[in-house]
Chains A and B, each alone.
Chain A
Amino acid sequence: MTFAYALTQPAAVVGPTYDAAVSPAALSLRRTIAETLESHQSLVARRADEIVGRLVSELQRASVEDGIHATSGAVARAASVLRSIPSEYPLPTVVVESDHEIGLDWDEGVRRVLSVSIGDGPMLGYAALIGAEPSHGRVAFTGVFPTTLSYFVRRIYGHQR
C-alpha cells in the first residue's frame, strides 16, 4: 500500500539576499537564525519520518501477525490525524483494530489513557480514562487536531509538560 505524505515546511523568515547588514552582531544573528531554522526543519522531518514509520510498521505487523488490514480510507485519514498532532505532544501508539479502523493510543498507565478510532468517515471516536474520570464520544476532524483530544492528551502528560 502506498500513500502520499506532504511535509509542512516552515515559512521562510529570513531573506539573505535583502539583508545588507555586515556588523559582527548582524552576522552572528544571521547565523543563529539559520541554525535555528535548520534545526526546526530537521525536527519536522524527523517527526514526519516517525509518523510514517509507526503507521507503516503497524500496517505490516497487523497484516502478517493478525491477518487484519485497515481500509485505505482509514489509513489516509490516520496519516492526516497523525500529521495534525501538535509537535509538543508525544506521538501515540498506532494499532490496526479488528474492525479495520486505525486506533491511536496514548497510554501512560491504566488511569492515563486516550484511545482514538479512525475509520473512513469524518468523525473520530474516542475513549479516555484519566484518574477516575471516564469519557467517550465522537469529534469531527477537519484537518486540525480536535480541541477535545488535545484536552485529554494534555491531561495525560500534564504533569510532565
Chain B
Amino acid sequence: MTDTERVSRFILDKNHFKAGHAKFRAFDPPPAEIALSVSRTEGLSDSQVWDHGDVHVARPSGRQIVARGDFTREDARAVQAGGCQLDIEPEEPPPLHANVIGYPSIEQKELRKSLAQQLVAKVVAVARPSQT
C-alpha cells in the first residue's frame, strides 16, 4: 500500500455528516475496538465507490450510506498524539477492506477523540448523491 493511496470511510449515521462536513465521531472506533474500518477505493470510479460501500458496508449493517470521507495513508500517518500514531493496514476479507490502526483502548477515550478530530480535519467529505 502506497502513502498516496486513497481510502474511504463510509458514513452511515446522518448525525455524522452535517453541512457538507464529516464529524469526528465518524472516525472514532467503536468502544470495544482499537481500529477503524475503511475501504481501499483508489482507482475506483465514484459510482464504483458507492456501489462497493453499499455491498460491503451498508448492506451487512442494514443501514444506508449518507456520505464518505476520503483520505490517504499519508494523511493517517500525520495524525499523532500522546505517543500514538495512526496508520492503515490492509485486512481482507471483505474485499478492499483495511483498518486505520494506532488508536489506544477506550480507557484513553480523550486521546481517541483527539486522534479522530485530527483525522477528520484531513479528510475530503463527499455527500452521497441523491438516488432516483
Known contacts A110-B120, A113-B24, A136-B81; A125 and B109 CB within 8 A of each other: yes
CB–CB B110/A126 < 8 A: yes
Q: Contact mask B7-21 → A, CB, 8 Å, 1/0?
A: 000000001000001
B81→A117 contact, CB < 8 A: no
User: A127 and B23 in contact (CB under 8 A), knowing A99-B106, A136-B81, A136-B82?
Assistant: no
Interface size on A, residues (CB 8 A): 23
Q: Taking the complex as formed, is A120 at the interface, i.e. its CB lies under 8 A from any CB of chain B? A: no
Residue pair B23, A107 in contact (C-beta under 8 Å): yes
Out of B31, B106, B113, B121, name the residue touching A127 (CB < 8 Å): B113
* Pairwise interchain contact B110-A95, C-beta atoms closer than 8 A: no
Interface residue tally on B, bucketed by range: 20 to 34
The binding surface of chain A is classed by DSSP as strand
Residues B78-132 near A (CB distance < 8 A): 81-82, 106, 109-111, 113-114, 117-118, 120-121
B25 at the interface (CB under 8 A from A): yes
Chain A, range 96-146, C-beta contacts under 8 Å to B: 97-99, 101, 105, 107, 109-111, 113, 115, 117, 125-129, 134-138
Question: What is B's interface to A at a CB cutoff of 8 Å?
Answer: 15, 21-25, 30-31, 81-82, 106, 109-111, 113-114, 117-118, 120-121
